[in-house]
Amino acid sequence: MHIAVTAAPRQDHFVALLDRHKPILYKVASAYCARREDRGDLIQDIVVELWRAFPRFDGRASFATFMHRIAVNVAISHFRGESRRIRDALPIEDLAFDLAAADRVMDNAGDDLVALQQAIAALDDISRALVLLHLDGYDHDAIGAMLGLTPGNVGTRLHRIRQKLQRDHAETRT
């Protein structure tokens, strides 16, 4: 897949790909931000970073993989000062995301998924990214490449995260 160099076709292509994989934005934002306003901010940051990184997307991996990598890395680094300057150029209203309706979809998904979402939100930044990528079907090699970790490190961390989630879940049930 070759990306057009001129501005208008490149933007069309980017927008089309973004449209096809929108849920990734919401899921990552939900995992990292408890408040809806913060989720909107994070989604803005992710979209802008995706746009900037888009010239480097060469099609060797899927756009979903590319998007996941950018999204979790932006989420992890979300609280750097730079993100606030970027956000002014891309008002969340232009994206017309109904985050409240998307939240309702999550809430109606079942108690176990709601509990999972809450458990993920209690993890540290890197662990959240690990769990999200694991749930979205990526193997250890792919997760490691996205986050700058070795596959072994990913496996170890995921194992510890599973144990922690089990413990925390057991405590809330008692």
Partner 1 sequence: MNTASFDLDALRQRWAALDCGIDAQLAFDPAALRDALSRRVRSAFRRHSAWLLVGLVSDAVALAGLVACAVLLRESPALWLSAVAVLLLVVMETATDLDAWRRLRALDFDAPVLAVRDTLARLRARRLRTTGVIVLGSVALWLPLLCVLMAVAFGVDLYRHVHWSVFAVNIVAGLVLLPFGAWIGGALARRFGGRPGFERMLDDSAGHHWRVARERWETLADTDALVARGDAAALVAKDAAQRQRLHAVAQPLATLRRSLWTGIVVLVPLLLGVALFNVTHGGQVRALVPGLVLHFALLVHLVANIAHLQAVRRLDVGGDVGRVIASLRWMARRREVLARVTVVVAPWLVLPLGVVVGRVVGGVDVVGVVPVGWLIGVVVACIGASVVLLRVRSERWFDVVCCGALRRSRVLANELRRLPGDERD
Residues numbered 90-149 forming contacts with partner 1, rule: CB under 8 A: 90-91, 94-99, 101-102, 104-106, 109-113, 115-116, 119, 125-126, 131, 134-137, 145-149
Least distance to partner 1, CB of residue 77, Å: 4
- Binding residue for partner 1, selected from 70, 123, 128, 140, defined by CB under 8 A: 70
Answer yes or no: are the C-beta atoms of 106 and 35 closer than 8 Å: no
Instruction: Give pairs for 10-18: CB < 8 Å, separation 24+.
Output: 10/54, 10/55, 14/50, 14/51, 14/54, 17/63, 17/67, 18/47, 18/50, 18/67
Please, which of residues 151-170 interact with partner 1 by CB under 8 A?
158, 162, 165-166, 169
Nearer to partner 1, 35 or 93 (CB): 93
Please, which of residues 24-53 interact with partner 1 by CB under 8 A?
25-27, 47-49, 51-53
Least distance to partner 1, CB of residue 139, Å: 12
